[in-house]
Amino acid sequence: MIPRPAEPGILAPPRVVPGTGRLPVLLSVPHAGRDYPDWLIRLSRRGRDSLRPLEDPLVDRLVWRAQALGIACVIAEAPRAAIDCNRAENELDPAVISLPPGTGHDGLRVRSGLGLVPGRLAGAGELWRRRIGRNELEARLETAWRPFHRLVAEQLAFLHRSHVEVLLLDCHSMPWRPGQAELVIGDRHGTTAAALVTDLARRIAEREGFRVACNDPYAGGHVVAAHGAPARGIHAIQLELDRRCYLDAAGREPGPGFDRSARLIGALAEALGSALLDRQAPPLAAE
């Protein structure tokens, strides 16, 4: 067991569940980290429980059926509260990070408190006792954020050496909202995956009995934006699954729909991977 980091800014590194490479698919799980160092809890205003709502609970376990198919998975072990691997390095909130006057990011996610280091949550208010310095931010980036993206890039490159087209499935969960679909597929409005990949993903999920939306209200974050390059044969889509589909009523443990949801992710990985393989197969020679 890796000892919990004690030095401020030092976080648990991501891990890779290896695969066989038979299917041209990679999974990533950037928000399932549950390793809260003592220094992070001390920095918080209201302790661990105020930080846990930022997690995508148990998504790293939900992908087990896809992993059983031999598909590799990159999993962030550091909690999203400390560093958000689905945000760009420049999504910096000056209310959270000590920055020179007049600098910082003015994006919607940063303004809502959900930048590279989240600063506040609805119902919980401000998360931290003080702003963090640039050296501490650099330590978080170097120990958790950059290794996560480096591993995703390396695993995609490994698959791309053997396959003409590859796919990244970036796995998340979302809170329930009235009228919202059970699964939201995001390709940043067609920029991170070919339309045929996104459309096939939607049809597969509907066949599995899920209500599906595309790019609304989640079009995809930094993971698919950074790694998706459909013109080069690298497709990336974000999957946002309603937590009520797989968790219990308390939202912390597997619920009655857990295996149904695991089957969904496995079905998406297998069918999309097989479809990409079929596109790569050479045509039959004429007799």
CA angle 97, 101, 104 (to 5 degrees): 50
pLDDT, tens digit, 9 for 90 and up, residues 20-56 = 999 999 999 999 999 999 999 999 999 999 999 999 9
Element spanning 144, H or E: none
Respond yes or no on whether the N-terminal peptide bond of residue 14 is cis (omega within 30° of 0). no
Beta bridge mates, 255: none
Determine the pLDDT at residue 6.
60
Specify the pLDDT at position 123.
78
What pLDDT, in 10s, does the model give residues 181-228? 999 999 999 999 999 999 999 999 999 999 999 999 999 999 999 999
Q: How far apart are CA 47 and CA 250, in angstroms?
A: 19
Domains identified in the chain and CATH numbers: 15-36+52-86+145-280 (3.40.630.40)
pLDDT per residue as tens digits for the range 83-126: 999 999 999 999 999 988 777 777 888 888 899 999 999 877 89
Q: Is the pTM of this model over 0.85?
A: yes
Contact 263, 65 (CB under 8 A): yes
